Structure 1
């Protein structure tokens, strides 16, 4: 599967966020410690919000550690909100359109996990996507399918409700097709102001997900660590696995829950699947 990170806070250079931490996402693309695979070399992508009304993106099928253009542009991108993802394919082709994050309008989406036995469920899943959205689907991954299902179910108005309905739909379709424990997901999505992150699996054993604690408090605990002095007090990270190994710096997102992350704050809530009218009457 994959590794990802999201940053929210004062504008920071993408290079500092991607390359400088001791266990940076670039390092994790080669040496992941908590993922299903050690190497995540099937492409990568970054999405960021800057001065334009819509997020920018850069994606490549090269491994993140072996793309000199990523290093070049990351020195020039200063952003208040960054998504970054390194991919380990679960079966879909290694192509640019299958690299995360995915974008629709102002919204970004990235995912670690899988819809189990997706080839069997794919037709049912894609038929549930709103016909007006379907032409914008570019790739072949279950991750992008989850994004467009969430958009169909109202992601732009109610992200937690939309994702809860996506989970309910996928589990219902899988039950009908005899697919056990169909969903494994940690997800991040944003419209440029807030980040919503979700951790859920049908089996109750979801891939790891952590968020950073208060930067001001960490500065007091680790006054000699330069990287903490360079970040504003509003800085928040959400990561598949910690990018620094500091005691007290990270809190694990609980199983079957979601968090709303804004500069300087965060809040957690339970995530419960919701069956939609479409599902109960089909």
Structure 2
């Protein structure tokens, strides 16, 4: 069955535990507001998920109703205080609304979310599935293109542990794009992703809007009137936020289309073009 998703995602990586309630709930264009109506007027009401890390363990809250319904999303956002956060609101045009189809997806320490679609996925899946490690293949619980992309990426990472993470992910995404174009070169692939193990975070912008905001100090928030860091961090605080749309009136910058980005353990932030060729496909 073909799955097409038009969603909104958010990610944050910071050098110190940081609150994200304003970005998720309180800001003018917070993720909860985007779930009710984004910049294009689309509603993302088919489920939501928020992931953060306690030490090295990802904690994920997911529900199948809209983020803007009730207090559950609001309360979840209010409790999050972490180095690494991934959040997602889903709009599924084809496919069931179910927890197993709701982002973020998790395997061990890895957490993944996706904004976009792999068109003709029933046919692309036939090309992809044999390249997903059999042990990981058994972990696939839902029917979305997104979850299959996640496990294909994990396979490539597992088989190339000594290579830079952003390079492995970039080549894997190019392979998915090539598979999709081999099925129908006229269909547009949407591959905005975020993937993290809590220490490292990588992602891409490909045919969907994506923005980033780099913070290099702890400032009083113009939305809530407080700082988002609850202790004295000194001069070394740094944070990077990623979002499908600018969330606040701060200096958000748009990613160029066709890039892979990476935030390493030391909060170094880099952006590179997606590779022109996929390279060797994992057997």
> TM over 0.5: same fold?
yes
1:259 — aligned with what?
261
Which range moves more in the overlay, 90-99 or 136-145? 90-99
CA deviation digits over 1:150-198, x for unaligned, max 9? 1111168343233233233323433443453452111111111122121
What corresponds to 1:48 in structure 2?
Answer: 52
* Contact 1:46–1:59 (Cα < 8 Å) also in 2: yes
Structure-2 change in CA distance of 1:272 and 1:21 (3 Å): same
What is the deviation of 1:13? Answer: 3.5
Change (3 A) 1:167 1:181: farther
Equivalent position of 2:134 in the other structure: 131
Alpha-carbon shift at residue 15 of structure 1 (Å): 3.1
| In structure 2, C-alpha distance between the alignment counterparts of 1:194 and 1:93, rounded to whole Å | 31
| 1:6 equivalenced with 2:8 (yes/no) | no
C-alpha separation between the residues in 2 aligned to 1:113 and 1:192? 23
Please report how far the alpha carbon of residue 244 of structure 1 lies from its aligned counterpart in structure 2 after TM superposition. 0.3
Of 100, 119, 124, 1:121 maps to: 124
Distance 1:167 1:230, change over 3 A: same
Instruction: Name structure 2 gaps, 5 residues minimum.
Output: 1-5, 230-236
Aligned pair in 2 of structure 1 residues 30, 58: CA closer, same or farther (>3 Å)?
same
**Ranges of 4+ aligned residues in structure 1 off by more than 4 Å:** 226-229, 262-265
How many pairs were matched up? 266
Measured after TM superposition, the shift of residue 226 of structure 1 is 5.5
Q: Considering only aligned residues, what root-mean-square deviation do their CA atoms show, in Å?
A: 2.6
CA-to-partner distance for each residue in 1:193-218, whole Å, 9 max, x for gaps?
A: 12212112xxxxx11111103354x9
Tell me, what secondary structure is at the counterpart of 2:199?
coil
* 127 and 235 in structure 1: CA distance in 2 versus 1, 3 angstrom threshold: same
Written as runs of structure 1 = structure 2, the 5 A alignment for 1:99-248 is 99-154=102-157, 157=161, 158-200=164-206, 206-216=207-217, 225=222, 227=224, 230-232=227-229, 233-246=237-250
Q: 1:67 to 1:265 in 2, by over 3 A?
A: farther
Residue 30 (str. 1) matches residue 32 (str. 2): no
TM-score under structure 2 normalisation?
0.84
Taking structure 1 as the reference length, what is the TM-score of the superposition?
A: 0.84
User: Hey, what does 1:203 align to over in structure 2?
Assistant: none
Residues 154 and 161 in structure 1, CA contact (< 8 A), matched pair in contact too: no
